[in-house]
Amino acid sequence: MRIDGATLGCVYAIALTAIPAKMILKGIPLALTPAAVVGLLTGVVWFCTQMVTTLGVAKGRNVVRTTLFIYASTQLATYGYATFGFLPPDELSATDRVLITVTALIAIAIGVCDGVRGIDRLTKLLRVVVVGAAIMAFFGLLQFFVGFDITKSVSIPGLKPATTDMSYVLERASFPRPAGTAGHPIEYGVVCAMITPLALHFGFRAKADGRKRWPWWLATTLIAVGAMLSLSRSAILGLAVAGLVLFPGWPAKRRKQMLLATPLFLVVMRLMVPGLLGTLYSLFANISDDPSAQHRTKAIELAGQQVDQHLWLGRGLGTYLPTKYGWLDNQYLGTLVENGLIGLAAFGMLFLIGMGAALRARSMTRDPTERDLALSLTACLAVPAISAATFDLLGFSVASGFTFLLVGACGALLRTMRERRTELVGVGS
């Protein structure tokens, strides 16, 4: 089988999860991860395939593809606006780097949207996404339970650590906070929460698909436990939102199964890690006294001063340097500051249109597997949509990479459903 969008998407997913996020390419002036290079390569391949009609890449309108183009246009407009005037050298370097990384994100999304043709290829890609997330989650569990941090001993030819400290393990309430191969425990938790709906989908559908169930339930367990062990409000909030999306759309039998399985999972977690559930509860119960929550409140005041000066297009991609101006820990707020109202609207559309495309695709099929896949993709995107309000989503390569990949997957699913309907209409006539 020749290489297609699913193949490149699979390579991208593995590069995101199997290689530590802080490993970047040697010998170039920009801090680029291997996954970003794969994204840029996907963009080049996509552009070339649009010049011919023999390679099977989709063309024509697609609501997700259009939204991605709109988002890309806002990024270019902001970049032009910011660089037209004077920028300090550190901010100019940052905006150049961010433009390249955002281009890679958009490229992988468009490559998946247009290059993944058919349910089989889309399912193949999403299975690899789950496997990659399970690998990352497993590394995090090693950090938490064994104290073994694989990121400290990784050496990959052609790559170097972006920082001198490659330890990804932090602490909270005497518990280690693992990050696996992600850049931070919060990112680790959000990614685990984001992929949990897909892992559940493949676990529940494995028998119907003629596959063994235990590998998928093992992957689901690793990923769900990883989300809990991250000790992150963003991750727990993400899991809750994903559950709210999934539960009404599940069959009655599955709802009963999950109502029984969820308390059992929590009991096992309490026995495995005494004090963990209490710590997680206190993160929300004592949020008013939490320094990080108070810091986020102050960030609104910092951002307000910048928004007034650059309302529509923002001050520039990546130019609001946290070490220089203070941390915002809110991607929507950060986008408003750096991209303005226009960029914020385009960023929000990525989530709304992506989830809308998946739900539209769900309404166009009666196949239970396809309907469940569409619902799962909707739940997956709901996680970063809510978590973007609690951390800098685009500042973390794994979380942002999976977000854009899943947006592209929603577009590919909708395109597949519409092409099938067109074929059926043609046959019927």
Q: What is the DSSP string of 157-199?
A: TTEEESSS-----EEETTEEE--TTSSSHHHHHHHHHHHHHHH
pLDDT of residue 209: 85
Low-confidence ranges of the chain (pLDDT < 50): 429
Does residue 425 sit within a domain? no
Does residue 324 sit within a domain? yes
Segments forming the whole domain that contains residue 170: 5-420
- Per-residue pLDDT of 96-127, as tens digits, reads 999 999 999 999 999 999 999 999 999 999 99
Q: Select from 88, 114, 197, 184 the least CA-distant residue to 143.
A: 184
The total of structural domains in the chain comes to 1
Does residue 64 sit within a domain? yes
Q: At 103, phi and psi to the nearest 5?
A: -60, -40
* Contact yes or no for 150/18 (Cβ under 8 A): no
* C-alpha separations of 65 from 68, 114, 259, 299, 350 in Å: 5, 8, 37, 33, 10
Does residue 100 sit within a domain? yes
Does residue 429 sit within a domain? no
Does residue 426 sit within a domain? no
Does residue 348 sit within a domain? yes
Q: Select from 246, 237, 240, 243 the least CA-distant residue to 186.
A: 237
* Contact yes or no for 122/409 (Cβ under 8 A): yes
pLDDT of residue 353: 98
State the pTM of this model: 0.96
pLDDT of residue 47: 95
Structure token digits, residue 26 = 């040697």
DSSP-assigned beta bridge partners for residue 243: none
Does residue 149 sit within a domain? yes
pLDDT of residue 169: 66
DSSP 86: -
